[in-house]
Structure 1
């Protein structure tokens, strides 16, 4: 290899070696505030007016259903609470339990978020509405001394059911079930 080629190749290799991990990920799309869609492991409170037998707290199964007494399985995964309310009311009408049923569904506990990588105590943590990537890192004990602090990776399952990894700022809003990865910085 000639000296001239080597002089050109060395700076290119040096820049490539300094590239930050996750820098090639697509940016996290701006999430518009839309109605929350239920998923497995969400826990909801179902209130059926005028019938305490049907009122209680239920967990969305891995199959995406709520198993309710007297009604059976009602699809909840991927639906909003309002859509689940209508589905419960429809099931009660079909089973002739009520002529004009009224149900309310409220999320009690959301799916957890997960924090991995260069944090003090990675793991699974309860989701809270309005949680950001930075607040999730704080719950995980904060960045450790080797952490890249400028951005994180967020893995999110899309509406198509497939997981996609994105590059996100520390202020990015999380969704239940998100996985936050804090990379190790290069020295």
Structure 2
């Protein structure tokens, strides 16, 4: 074969490798499958049966706590709503109420962020069941220079931060950052 043929084959192989999106690494997939844990900015609706003065909406403050009457400042960050319910029942049972019945619901999720080649980058309210494609639509669509087949998703899980290229059908969670890259051609 001629030198031109080998160069063309090498160039085609290199471009084929660039065109295929990377697979989602296991930690990012695992970070999606785990139960939802609370973080700063989430809003909770806490109801204590028979106690209207304790039942209210509480926002997770920057220090990861909520301030609730009789309980005081209670740490909720990195806990599931069920863990918060159990903890609040134990706190209230410890001298305040005989048999507290507490329910904890997520009233509002923390926002997600979208950056890069979209028409309106910024912070937006999260909607349950959202995909990366929905997030782009909320940000007024792709800019003319956008790469339109995948996005980069950054997700915090515990103390670690995971970053990966994902397809537009990939589920988004509250607090995720989506970056739409600029296309090369």
- Identify the residue that residue 45 of structure 1 maps to in structure 2: 45
Contact 2:21–2:150 under 8 Å retained in 1: no
Q: Deviations over 1:140-162 (max 9, x none)?
A: 00111111011111000012x22
Does 2:162 correspond to 1:164? yes
Does 2:128 correspond to 1:129? yes
C-alpha displacement of 1:107:
0.6
What is the 5 A alignment of 1:68-87? Answer: 68-87=68-87
What is the 5 A alignment of 1:70-109? Answer: 70-94=70-94, 96-109=95-108
- Identify the residue that residue 146 of structure 2 maps to in structure 1: 147
- Identify the residue that residue 179 of structure 2 maps to in structure 1: 181
Structure 1 pair 132/115, CA: closer, same or farther in 2 (3 Å)? Answer: same
What is the 5 A alignment of 1:105-116? Answer: 105-116=104-115
Q: Helix, strand or coil for the counterpart of 2:29?
A: coil
Measure the CA separation in 1 of the matches of 2:42 and 2:76: 10
Structure 1 pair 118/21, CA: closer, same or farther in 2 (3 Å)? Answer: farther
Q: Helix, strand or coil for the counterpart of 1:54?
A: coil
- Identify the residue that residue 36 of structure 1 maps to in structure 2: 36
Contact 1:114–1:179 under 8 Å retained in 2: yes
Q: How many positions carry a matched residue from both structures? A: 180
TM-score, length of structure 1 as denominator length: 0.84
Measure the CA separation in 2 of the matches of 1:167 and 1:22: 11
Contact 2:21–2:166 under 8 Å retained in 1: no
Contact 1:22–1:167 under 8 Å retained in 2: no
C-alpha displacement of 1:29:
2.0
TM-score, length of structure 2 as denominator length: 0.85
Where structure 1 has 5 or more consecutive residues not aligned to the other structure, the ranges are none
For the aligned residues, what is the CA RMSD?
Answer: 2.6
The 4+ residue runs of structure 1 with deviation greater than 3 A are: 7-28
Q: Deviations over 1:7-28 (max 9, x none)?
A: 9889868986997599668544
Measure the CA separation in 1 of the matches of 2:181 and 2:23: 13
